[in-house]
Chain A
Amino acid sequence: MSVLVQNCRTCGGRWFPARLMCPRCGGADLVPVSVERGVVEQLTHLGDVVIASVACDPEPLLVARLHGAVEPGDVVELTDDPGASGRPVAFVPPISLPREEMS
């Protein structure tokens, strides 16, 4: 399980949601890269829905929906599959990438 974020091949910056140019170096060589886990920073409940800020190491910061028993400070697996279940995960909807980045 993982989610795709953008990786700038010029400066190494990692971005989510997708950008058109790298905010750090201005480069346009942005390619998708898998990120498998992050740390839950804060979470809140909207009824039964648990929304969290999840920090990848070293970046980016994601807004995710948590499934399962997860507390702030926990490392959680990331998934872009809304139906995933069984163990604690953080769901992050997939980014729509520019066409040339699709493989």
Chain B
Amino acid sequence: MAAGSLRALRRPDGVSVIGAGESPYTRHPASGTTTDGVLADAVRRALADANIQASEVDGFGACSFTLGPDHAVDLAWRLGLRLRWLMQDTNGGASAGTMLQHAVRAVESGDASVVVLVAGDLMDQQVHLKMVAEYNRATAEQLVPLDMLGPNALFALLTQRQMAAEGLTRTDYGRLAVAQREWASLNPGAVYRQPLTLDDYLNAPMVAEPLGRYDCVPPVTGADAVVVAADERAAGMRRARVLGVSARYNTDDQTGDGLVTGLADCAPELWAAAGRGPADVDVVSVYDDYPAMALAQLKDLGLVAGGELPAFVAERLATRELAVNTSGGQLSAGQPGSAGGMHGLVEVVRQLRGQAGERQVAARLGLFSGYGMVLYRYGACATAGLLEAAG
């Protein structure tokens, strides 16, 4: 097959995530902790998990809000990686899908054979305040002058709209937070593992009504990484084969109510590419910067229909019958800056590879989603991927 355009259409046997690693999340990083240090820690852990030497890596992608003045190539150099393929991603909560979508194509096309993807940040309070103040131009010029620091108020308004549209109450969001805390109690890597009751949730200090303390992710320092390779390379290894990755950016120019994410457009092509449907999924990680967004994504992905969210929360999430955010999600595990976008992928890979310890579920098919990058009123990036246990 000579024509490059034809080669690009050729689908090899498969591309898989063959390893995952997470640099432990900490609420209060020890002095001397650095962004590149936690990124390197996650990369080392992912390579060890995949049983891959750094010298075998020829593709690398990185996403970090706090890596500057360094770039992805500086990080690669300091990690000793000699590469044929490199990308730097800036999509925060959607970065796992963004990078994985590119990495799968790079491996399929032969541009790279073993790709490491990493995301993470040093996120102490000062760094966090600076990040949310300078997030983008619209934030700096149109939101910060309102004496509004960070997106809590925006998602409070969005949550009010979702409550009205879907008949949801604070109790419903609380049930989601409590269920994720129950998962977190089984995850030694989660920063908040002590039991959370519905009363704790409902009586917590208000941040911006209807959002209370337990609706808002705790910023932490940490990093997540995965190793991506062709199945031929990973023969005999337990792996998570990528069945599809889909992405949407700026689907509505910020002119809607924010209750429908770009995942609503991703989902049909994702299910069609994989030949599967929402009912086939065994484990799900959705990006939970706020409970309302976790529910919006579950709806957009087809796991619950509109108008059925309160019953879905009570019957399937609160009971943990449907395995959603089994790490505890960011609400309990913490949000390590841009690694928040990679956290759900790492958890799905661990579940599919049978590495989830006490929280392990019987999982053949896993789904992850990412969401983020608030342009003005809500997030504009949405990515999702479907993976299957193999090997």
Contact = CB atoms under 8 A, between A and B. Distances in A.
Interface in B355-384: 376-377
Given A17-B137, A91-B146, 20 more contacts: A17-B142, A17-B376, A23-B253, A42-B161, A43-B157, A44-B153, A44-B157, A45-B206, A45-B208, A45-B209, A46-B147, A49-B146, A49-B148, A53-B377, A61-B255, A63-B148, A63-B377, A65-B146, A93-B145, A93-B146
Contacts, number: 71
A44 B254 CA distance: 19
Contacts of B209: 44-45
A52 B148 contact: no
Contact of A63 (B137, B146, B208): B146
Interface in B328-380: 376-377
* The 6 nearest A-B residue pairs measured at CB: A44-B156, A51-B153, A93-B145, A23-B253, A65-B146, A44-B208
A43 B157 CA distance: 6
B169 to A, nearest CB: 16
B160 A92 contact: no
A60 interface: yes
A16 B160 CA distance: 22
A23 to B, nearest CB: 4
A46 B141 contact: no
A11 interface: no
A70 to B, nearest CB: 14
Interface string A1-22: 0000000000000001100000
A33 interface: no
Interface string B133-168: 000011001110111100011101100110000000
B152 A46 contact: yes
A82 B142 contact: no
A96 B141 contact: yes
A28 interface: no
Interface residues of B, number: 27
Interface of A: 16-17, 23, 41-46, 49, 51-53, 59-61, 63-65, 82, 91-93, 95-96
A93 B139 CA distance: 11
Nearest to B250: A23
Interface string B224-262: 000000000000000000000000000001110000000
A96 B154 CA distance: 22
A73 to B, nearest CB: 13
Contacts of A23: 253, 255
Interface of B: 137-138, 141-143, 145-148, 152-154, 156-157, 160-161, 206-211, 253-255, 376-377
B141 A17 contact: yes
A63 B146 CA distance: 9
A95 B157 contact: no
A72 to B, nearest CB: 9
A91 B160 CA distance: 21
Nearest to B155: A44
B141 A51 contact: no
B255 A63 contact: no
A91 B145 CA distance: 9
Nearest to A92: B142
B136 to A, nearest CB: 10
Contacts of B141: 17, 93, 95-96
Residue of B146, B156, B255 with most chain A CB atoms under a 10 A cut-off: B146
A49 B207 CA distance: 12
B138 A52 contact: no
Given A17-B376, A92-B142, A95-B141, A42 B148 contact: no
A51 to B, nearest CB: 4
12 contacts: A41-B161, A44-B211, A46-B147, A46-B148, A46-B208, A51-B148, A53-B157, A53-B377, A61-B254, A82-B145, A92-B142, A95-B141
Contacts of A49: 146-148, 153
Nearest to B206: A45
Contacts of B153: 44, 46, 49, 51
Contacts of B148: 46, 49, 51, 63, 65
Contacts of B210: 44
Contacts of A82: 145
A16 B376 CA distance: 9
Contacts of A41: 157, 161
Contacts of A93: 141-142, 145-146
A82 B145 CA distance: 8
